[in-house]
Structure formats: structure tokens, C-alpha cells
Chain A
Amino acid sequence: MSTDIAHEEHHHGPPKGIGRWLFSTNHKDIGTMYLVFALTMLFVGGASAMYIRAELFMPGVQFMEPDFYNNMVTNHALIMVFAVVMPAAAGLANWMIPMMIGAPDMALPRLNNLSFWLLPAAAVMLILSTVVPFLPGGGSAINTGWTLYPPLSIQTGMAMDFAIFTVHILGVSSILASINIVVTILNMRAPGMTLFKMPMFCWAWLFTGLLLIIIAPVLAGGVTMLLFDRHFGTSFFDAAGGGDPVLFQHLFWFFGHPEVYVLLLPSIGVLAMIIPTFARKPLFGYNSLVGGMAILFTLGLVAWAHHQYTVGMAAGPTTWFMIITILISIPVGLMLLNFMMTMWRGAMTFETPMLFAVAIVLMFSFAGVTGIMLAVVPADLEYHDSMFVVAHFHYALIPGALMGLLAAAFYWLPKWTGNMYDERLGKIFFWWNVISFNITFFPQHFYGLAGMPRRIVDYNPAFADLNMISSLGAFAYGLSHLLFLYIVIKTVRGGVKAGNKPWEGAQIGTPGLEWDLSSPPPFHSFTTPPVVK
């Protein structure tokens, strides 16, 4: 692989001042802004989680009214999904994909700027939705959970309108970002960088982007109908006018289920970059991983109603959704196998990204098997809407999405900043993070089975002991991210120089062209396209 990086005449640094960020069209700057935004919102979403766990620390309503609790449950989900994981993944894509495929920048740089700057607007909207109920005449708080099911969401006050606009803006932002990324991957590859030579992270984002382009407009449509039902006298979801409340659930989950893969896939892509590096051997099953993602993409689009087994669907559709859902174990199993077999007979070392990768494979497998348990209709008729479900999707989304992004940060921080992060602190963070995560969510399976529903502000003392363990774990888990923040700041400010290839095994298998660039990379990565042999 040879690259020809000539910066003599084209090299010029970033513009100075605030304008560099406000009007930026540079993929690295926008990527940085995405990541900073996501990290900021991680603490906002985390704060609401801390409040939730504090409230559930013991039986009794301790702090705020039940509606505030429900509002926090809603915000926690909306923030974590739309304002943390998706922007962080988009940030990684912005930073890495042009460098990986040897493109000068993203395909649509100005659109890139727009799709980022919509995010802070959405965040402000979301904060307003929380503040509004406290103002005189503000109406009631959003107490529906992020699923926004009518008729409850029709009852809610003005706050719901803010939430709907938040979803609209976030939807537009993520659609634009996805279009940009898909176009970049399809059209901007350096000569010789064929699709099947691409790093797996690009494949993962190609599927993610396409999936988002398909599903996000449906959610936008759904909440638009909700808005119309609330204010303009339509009755899409109101039985009194010939509508059907269950229709919203179908629209929501048509979006909501593939959305899970939107959150997971970028991190799957990250794992496929990290594990070969630290196992020092090529990715096992490159083609089958691509195939697995394609199958996941397809099955994910037709499995949505397993979130609504209890709405009294007919036997036919119920069976269909159950079979499709169980079949999803095939591509997921294939992915996990590929990761395990990449480790197998490798020469592994355990730096922080790899530690996370190994933990993710284990914990995500666990989410997979509880997922199969939930897919089984009769059993789900007991599990549905219990804390068991909460435990399951946190095991899927925290290791499967969030921890993957954290691992990616450790993996690429040396490339971004030119400095190595503090490995000792990284390892402390890993153990602190993973152990406290398990203390938080493992017990939830059991008090869920024992009969504790989700989204309740107060509970029977029978669930008290495990809830207390969960809460203690959650406080530790929440705090651990402050250490992450410290590590990142420390790395940005200085440290041991990383060199162009900080990781010994980084060039094995199908890495991108990012390792050919300096660390940190120049402001304009490839002014002349590199040629991949």
C-alpha cells in the first residue's frame, strides 16, 4: 500500500477563532464537534440516569413528583439514543471514514456543517420540554417514555410538542449525516480502494447510513401524525375518529427496531478494527461479516412488532415476527463468532481498547441470549414491560454501542491527538466501568422476573435489596465516566508521542489509510488521492 501525501503547496492550517467551528466544513473539525457534543450529552443523559437510580434506591417517592420521574425516563432514552450514541458514531465516521478511504474530505462538506449544528438546536428543544412544565400554564410533563405511545402522549401538555420537534430536528440531522456518509463511502474512495478492500468500519457505517435513511423518515411521519392529532383535529391514532392507537406503535417500532442496529453497527465496525489489531492477525471472515450485516439490515426491517407481542395481534403476524426475531440470532451469532475467531490463535495483548472489545463480545453475547428468551412469544407475555427487558436492552446497547464508542475513542485518540493516552488510567477506567456496569444491570434481570415493571417511580419492598445494589452500581458506573473525561483531556493536552502507527498490529488485515497519515493528521488529509494497490 503506498500513499502519496504532498502537502507542500496545499497545506494550510485551520482558520482561527470561533469561525473555525461555526462555519467549519472540515471533516475532522466537525467530527471533533460531534464527539464533544456526544460526550457533553453523555453527562446530561447520565445525570438523568443517576436521578432515576437515586429515586429507585429504595421504596418510597423520595425526590420529585412521579411525572418528573417519567420525564427523566423519557429524556434519558431520547438523549442516550439520539444525542449520545448517534452523534458519537457520526463523529467517528466524520473523523475516520475520509481518512480510511483516502478521501480529501466528506462528500458534502456544507451539509456536514448543517447536520451538526442542528444537534445543539435539538438539545435546546429537549431541555425546553423538560423546563416547560415548571412554568405557569406549561401543562404536564412528558410521562410517556421515549416510545411516546398515544393516547397518553395526546394527554400530555405542551412539553410533548417540544419533544416532537426535538425528534424532528434530530431526525433531519441524522438523515443528512447519513446521506453524507453514504455518498462519501460510495463515491469518494481512493483509486484501488474497492468496496471489499474497505475497512469494516466503513461497511458498518454504509449499512447504518442506509438503514437510517430508510427508517428515520417513518418516525418523522409518525410523530408528525401525533402532532396533528394533538392540535389539528385529525385522528390517526384516536379510535373516536376512526384511528387506531396501535398504529402508532407499528410506526414507532418500524423505526425503533432497526434503530437498535443503527446504534449497534458502528460499534460492531469498531470492534472489527480493534480486535485484528491487538490479536495481530487478519479479521476472521471479512466477507461473512459484511454478509451478516446485510442480513441483519434486512431482518431488522421486518421484525419490529416483537416489541408489541401484547397488543393482541393475530396468531399469524405474531408467529412471523417471532420467527424473524429468532432468526436475527444468525447474523449476530456470525458476527460474534468472527470476533472470537479473530482472537483465536492470535498473539493478543490487552491494551484498553482490546480489553473493552473482549468484554463487549462477552456481554453482548449475553444480551443476545436474553434477546432470544424475549423473542419467544409465550415467555415474552410474562417478560414484557418488566425490568428484565430493561436489563436486556442495556446489556445490548451499553456494551454493543456505548462501550464500543469508548473503545474507539481509546483506539483512535493517539491518531487524533498525536499523543498516547495514559494506559494505566485507561485500564483502571475499563475495570471500573465494566464491573460497575454489571453490578448495575445484572440484578435487573432478576427483579424483572420477580415482577417489577419498568417505568415505575416507586415499588414494593420485595424488590428493594436488588434495586439498592443496582443503584450503588449505577452511581459507580456514572462516576467512572468522569475518569474517561479526565483521560481524554489529559491526552489532548499532551503525553507520549504516538507516532503514525501507535499500534503494532494496526496494519494487519484490512485497515484503512489512516495509519499512513501522521498523528495528528494534517488539516487536509489527502490532497492528492492515494493509490491503493
Chain B
Amino acid sequence: MKSIKNKIAGLAGMAGLLLSSEVIAKSKYNLPEPADPIVQQIFDVHMVTSAIATIIMIIVTLIIVYSLIVHRKDKGYVADQNFHKSWFGRWAWLLVPLIVLGIDFSIAKTAHKTMETIYDEHPESDMTVKIIGSQWKWSYEYMDSGIKLTSNLNRDLTPKDEFYLRDVDQPLILPVNTKIRLLHTTTDVLHNWWVPQIAYKVDAIPGYITETRTEILKEGTYRGQCAENCGTGHAFMPIVVKAVSKDEFAKWQEEQVAAAAAAAAEASSDKEWTMEELFAKGKEHYNKTCVACHQANGEGVPGVFPALKGSAKATGDVKVHIQTVLNGVSGTAMAAWKDQLNDLEIAAIITYERNAWGNNTGDVVQPKQVAAER
């Protein structure tokens, strides 16, 4: 019989899977290999519950298959009209729930310890990172050192690339073997920062601050993506965490702090910048910050994002132009950049915009002009 053969084949397959649970644990189709003690605990819970699930399925299948083979009319089997009145029939309503309750209990017990770890323990942490979800990018704030990072999708990859939709321009850098608190919040809708190997999920909810924690055990790159539907770009906000040694992290952190200080100093210095310097700097920053909407050729997207090439704003009054970049345009997609960019960067971008793509205004905007408009 086809049905019986199918069932037996399925059963053998399942038994085989169970026996080779070691293989399953490492399979690419299981939860990825944990790189954090709590995630390791969760992984173990998952393996236990999967095993219980598999065993239950095998038992259920065996009973049904036996019944399908034996209790058939075409085999001449005569139905036992009083089976439901047998002792089993009379007590099954109690017996079976008790057995199920036993299984439930064993499952709940497995989970209990991990629940306590997650919900009741507050170990001291060595650093805190605040993770902010926005449509559709992640921002990170190292609360101890004040470093801020913004992490956008790497748009240069194609569906053929290994890390397509799993790569960003700026990964989150974290040290290994360090207890890290991760705080989650959002500036707009719900998001969920999901890197399965290093931290369990918690939603980022506007107005809420929630936390998870991680202690990455192994250096390496960990990838994930937003797991709570956040609208149009939900599939396009990946997460990359680069775990480095403590020394390397300390070095990186120093560099970042120094670079930020240097950039600030440079921006606020009274140096007069030349057109060439500003144009080059501006091009670099434009291609990082503005290109997503206004495009590399400055033509924008018709009907959606305005063109800068030949536009009234980019060729008209400098002050208006500066104001626009600083404070955005409310009610449109144009964001305020004054918190993300310093005076020098904004001056450079504006200089670039006013002289690229045939906008040859010849205007050179100095950082102090920007500072004056702040």
C-alpha cells in the first residue's frame, strides 16, 4: 500500500534524524551555533524540546500506522463496537491528560532555568550599547564612550553575493568575553534587533526601553536582521556585529574617540578651506549620506526625491541651503542632519552640491558659515 510505505519511510527518516541529532545540531538548517552563554542555554532548550517533539510524533505515527495496517475492513477486521466502553475507554480522559501533563512538566522544567537567567538575573555589565531602530537603519550608541555609529544596508551587493541583504556599511564593533548590556528602542515603529547567535529577541517599541545582554565568546562576524515587521524596508535592514578581541576593541574605541575629537576640532577650527578640499570632502560625504535619495548624479527620483542638479535651492541663497541641510524640511523625507554631521561636513556637502553636476555657482561654504546658522 502506498500510504503505508510512505508512512514507514517517513518514520525511518525521523528515527534517523533523531539518532543523528549531533548532525542536526550543527546543521545549517537548525538554529545557528550559539556564541553567547544565554543563547547556548536557549539552544539546549530548543534541542530538548525538539527531541521530545520528535519522540511524540514517532509514537503517534506508530500507533496510527499500526492501526492503518491492521484495523482495515478489507483485511476482514471486524470493528470492536465496545472498545470505547473498555477500561481504557472509560479512563482515557484521565490517563492521557496525566501523561501529557507529565510531558508538559518536563518541558516547563527545562525552560525554567533559562527563564530565570533571562528574567531574574542582573549581572554587572562592563559596557552598555544602545540600539536604535529607525525606518530602515540601525544606530548604535556606546553609552560609556559616547561613540555613535549608523549602520545602513550595503547596497552594492547583488542577489548572487553571499552576504546579500546581510551586509552593512558600518558594523557594530563589540569586544569578546565582555558582559554587554544591549538597550533597545526605536524612533518610529516597532523593530527587533535579531542576531540569533549572540542575543535573544526583544522588541524595540517607541517610548519603551528594553534590554537584553550578551557576552560574545568567539571572535568573528555575526549577522542578523530586523525581525519585527517595520514596513516597506523591513527586509532591508540587516545587522552585522563584528566581535574583536578586547585589545583590538580598546584600540578601535580610542581611535574613534580621537577621530571624533579631531573632526570636531577640525570643524571648529578657523581654517579657511579651499574649494578643492571642500569639494573632495563633500563628494565623499555626499556619497555616504545623501546619495540614497538624491542619487549620485544629483537628479533625485522624479516625483519622490527632488533633484539637486540645477535646483533653485542648490543654486540660490546659501543660507537657505544650509538651513535645509541642518534642519531638514518638515513634512517631507528630508531629514535634519545637524546631529549627525558636523559643521565641516555640512559645509563640504553644500560646497559639493553647489558645484557638482553643472551647478557651477563657484560658492565655497566655510564651516563657520554653517556654525552661524545653527
Chain A residues packing against B (C-beta within 8 Å): 58-60, 65-67, 70, 140, 143-145, 149, 151-152, 155, 239-240, 244-246, 279-288, 291, 310-312, 314-315, 318-319, 322-323, 326-327, 329-330, 333-334, 336-338, 340-350, 355, 358, 361-362, 365-366, 369-370, 372-373, 376-379, 381-382, 384-386, 431, 446-447, 449-451, 453-462, 466, 508
Contacts and interface: CB of A to CB of B under 8 A. Distances in A.
Interface in B88-134: 88-89, 92-93, 96-97, 100-101, 103-104, 107-108, 110-111, 114-115, 118-120
B170 interface: no
Contact of B49 (A318, A372, A455): A372
Given A348-B73, A376-B107, A58 B159 contact: yes
A282 B84 contact: yes
Nearest to B229: A455
A318 B96 contact: no
Contacts of B224: 451
B80 A281 contact: yes
B56 interface: yes
A149 B190 contact: yes
Interface in B153-198: 158-166, 188-190, 192, 194, 196
A164 B10 CA distance: 44
Contacts of A319: 115
Contact of A245 (B67, B110, B119, B190): B190
Nearest to A323: B108
A385 B200 CA distance: 12
Contact of B118 (A373, A381, A431, A459): A381
B232 A377 contact: no
The prevalent SS among residues of A at the interface is helix
B212 to A, nearest CB: 9
Contacts of B228: 310, 385
Given A239-B207, A326-B104, A459-B165, A378 B67 contact: no
Contact of A458 (B56, B57, B165): B165
Contacts, number: 288
Interface of B: 2-3, 28-32, 39, 41-43, 45-46, 49-50, 52-54, 56-57, 60-61, 63-64, 67-68, 71-74, 77-81, 83-84, 88-89, 92-93, 96-97, 100-101, 103-104, 107-108, 110-111, 114-115, 118-120, 158-166, 188-190, 192, 194, 196, 200-203, 205-208, 210, 224-236
B55 to A, nearest CB: 9
B53 A372 contact: yes
Given A348-B72, A446-B29, A460-B163, A362 B230 contact: no
Contacts of B2: 431
A285 B92 CA distance: 8
Contacts of A58: 159
Tell me which of B61, B107, B158 has the highest count of chain A C-beta atoms within 10 A of its own C-beta: B107
16 contacts: A149-B229, A151-B188, A246-B205, A280-B73, A281-B79, A318-B119, A336-B60, A340-B60, A341-B83, A345-B83, A349-B72, A379-B45, A385-B201, A449-B31, A456-B225, A460-B163
Given A145-B229, A312-B210, A460 B165 contact: yes
A334 B96 contact: yes
A350 to B, nearest CB: 7
A345 B159 CA distance: 55
Given A285-B84, A455-B229, A70 B234 contact: yes
Contact of A376 (B45, B61, B163): B45
Contacts of A343: 64, 67-68, 71
Given A340-B67, A361-B64, A379-B111, A288 B42 contact: no
B73 A349 contact: yes
B16 to A, nearest CB: 16
A449 B79 contact: no
Contacts of B229: 70, 143-145, 149, 152, 385, 454-455
Given A245-B190, A287-B93, A365 B231 contact: no
Nearest to B70: A345
Nearest to A378: B114
B196 A311 contact: no
Given A281-B83, A340-B60, A456 B234 contact: yes
A361 B68 CA distance: 13
Contacts of A314: 119
Contacts of A377: 111, 115, 118
A280 B80 CA distance: 9
Contacts of A65: 232
Contact of B232 (A67, A311, A315): A67
Given A143-B231, A329-B104, A457-B235, A337 B78 contact: no
B234 A455 contact: yes
Contacts of A460: 163-166
B206 A151 contact: yes
A312 to B, nearest CB: 4
Tell me which of B2, B56, B114, B203 has the highest count of chain A C-beta atoms within 10 A of its own C-beta: B203
Tell me which of A66, A327, A379 has the highest count of chain B C-beta atoms within 10 A of its own C-beta: A379
A386 B114 CA distance: 21
Contacts of B210: 312
Given A315-B115, A369-B53, A460-B166, A345 B60 contact: no
Contacts of B226: 453
Contacts of A330: 97, 100-101, 104
Contacts of A239: 206-207
Contacts of B227: 384-386, 453
Contact of B79 (A287, A318, A345, A366): A345
B115 A66 contact: no
Given A369-B53, A372-B53, A450-B28, A284 B92 contact: yes
Given A377-B118, A384-B192, A461-B162, 15 more contacts: A70-B229, A70-B232, A239-B207, A280-B73, A284-B84, A284-B92, A345-B67, A345-B77, A345-B80, A362-B60, A378-B45, A378-B115, A381-B42, A381-B201, A447-B29
B194 to A, nearest CB: 7
